[in-house]
């Protein structure tokens, strides 16, 4: 147990991890209150992971108290399913996190120049770059980053928070799309038929209607 627990109690790593995770929030605008709640859940998710990965394995203690026995690493704390698949969960998580980071940055670069940068916060309709394929690459990125964390280091708080965060970002995306439709009208409706909300469409909706 000494070897397994050796990475806990490293509070400096907790602080660094939280700061790194919070940096990505700088790639999203906060001029609307509706955007703050999903961001808060995302930050809470990052803090929960840092706390349980480097600080104190609270999930392990809670499960041990509930079930009256120790829970092996890799069930609901530690590397996901470690005793069955080794570090595969960590590898999957790393790939998802990298893809998520790329999506956040790619989405920010385009939309900042063409929309957010405008003084009123209402620039032109962005349909270039990554936005040619998906309408909310940054929200997809946040969900992939946190899903990757969950694969790498599954804990009870994270398992509870991830679905909540996914629902909040979905609701936020739908609300923003309603606002964009009011602003850009048929241009946005046409764009929405050709793209996916969080994942690319295999067949755009307008092509399916023609078929």
Q: Which residue has better confidence, 205 or 138? A: 138
pLDDT on residue 155: 77
Looking at residue 22, what is its pLDDT?
80
Contact between 98 and 91 under an 8 Å Cβ cutoff? The reply is no
Question: What are the structural domain ranges in the chain?
Answer: 2-210
Of 180, 90, 86, nearest to 131 by C-alpha is 180
179, 206, 183: which is closest to 32 by C-alpha? 179
Is the pLDDT reported for residue 5 higher than 90? no
Which tokens in the block code for residue 193? 């038929």
Query: At 3, is the pLDDT very low, low, confident or very high (cuts 50, 70, 90)?
Result: very low
Q: In whole angstroms, what is the distance from residue 205 CA to residue 177 CA? A: 16
Polymer length in residues for the chain: 211
Mean pLDDT of all residues in 176-205? 89
Average pLDDT of span 191-201? 93
Distance CA 209, CA 38 (A): 34
| Tokens read off for 137 | 């690459």
Q: Which of 83-92, 110-119, 129-138, 197-206 is most confident?
A: 129-138
pLDDT tens track for 46-70: 887 777 776 666 566 566 666 656 6
pTM for this prediction: 0.75
Confidence of residue 100 (pLDDT cuts 50, 70, 90): very high
Q: What is the 3-state secondary structure (H, E, C) of the chain?
A: CHHHHCCCCCHHHHHHHHHHHHHHHHHCCCCCHHHHHHHHHHHHHHHHHHHHHHHCCHHHHHHHHHHCCCCCCCCCCCCCCHHHHCCHHHHHHHHHHHHHHHHHHHHHHHHHHHHHCCCCCCCCCCCCHHHHCECCHHHHHHHHHHHHHHHHCCCHHHHHHHHHHHHHHHHHHHHHHHHHHHHHCHHHHHHHHHCECCCCCCCCHHHHHHC
Q: What is the mean pLDDT of residues 62-91?
A: 67
pLDDT at residue 151 above 90? Answer: no
Query: Given pLDDT bands bounded at 50, 70 and 90, which one contains residue 1?
Result: very low
What is the architecture of the domain spanning 2-210?
Answer: Up-down Bundle (1.20)
More confident residue, 192 or 206: 192
Cβ 28 vs Cβ 39: under 8 Å: yes
First to last CA, the chain: 62
Neighbouring CB atoms inside 10 A of 124's CB total 10
Mean pLDDT of the chain: 77
Say which residue, 59 or 130, is predicted with more confidence: 130
pLDDT band, residue 15 (cuts 50/70/90): confident
For residues 183-201, average pLDDT: 93
């Amino acid at each position: 147990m000494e070897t397994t627990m050796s990475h806990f109690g490293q509070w400096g790593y907790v602080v660094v991890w939280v700061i790194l995770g919070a940096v990505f929030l700088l790639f999203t605008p906060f001029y609307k209150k509706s955007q703050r709640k999903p961001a808060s859940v995302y930050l809470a998710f990052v803090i929960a992971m840092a706390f349980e990965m480097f600080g104190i394995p609270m999930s392990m203690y809670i499960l041990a108290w509930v079930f009256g026995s120790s829970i092996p690493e890799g069930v609901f704390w530690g590397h996901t399913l470690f005793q069955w698949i080794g570090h595969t969960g960590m590898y999957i998580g790393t790939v998802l996190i990298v893809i998520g980071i790329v999506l956040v940055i790619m989405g920010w670069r385009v939309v900042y120049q063409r929309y957010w940068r405008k003084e009123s916060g209402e620039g032109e309709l962005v349909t270039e770059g990554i936005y040619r394929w998906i309408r909310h690459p940054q929200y997809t990125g946040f969900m992939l980053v946190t899903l990757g964390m969950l694969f790498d280091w599954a804990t009870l708080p994270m398992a509870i928070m991830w679905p909540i965060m996914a629902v909040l970002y979905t609701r936020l995306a739908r609300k923003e799309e309603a606002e964009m439709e009011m602003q850009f009208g048929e241009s946005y409706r046409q764009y929405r038929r050709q793209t996916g909300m969080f994942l690319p469409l295999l067949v755009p909706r307008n092509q399916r209607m023609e078929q």
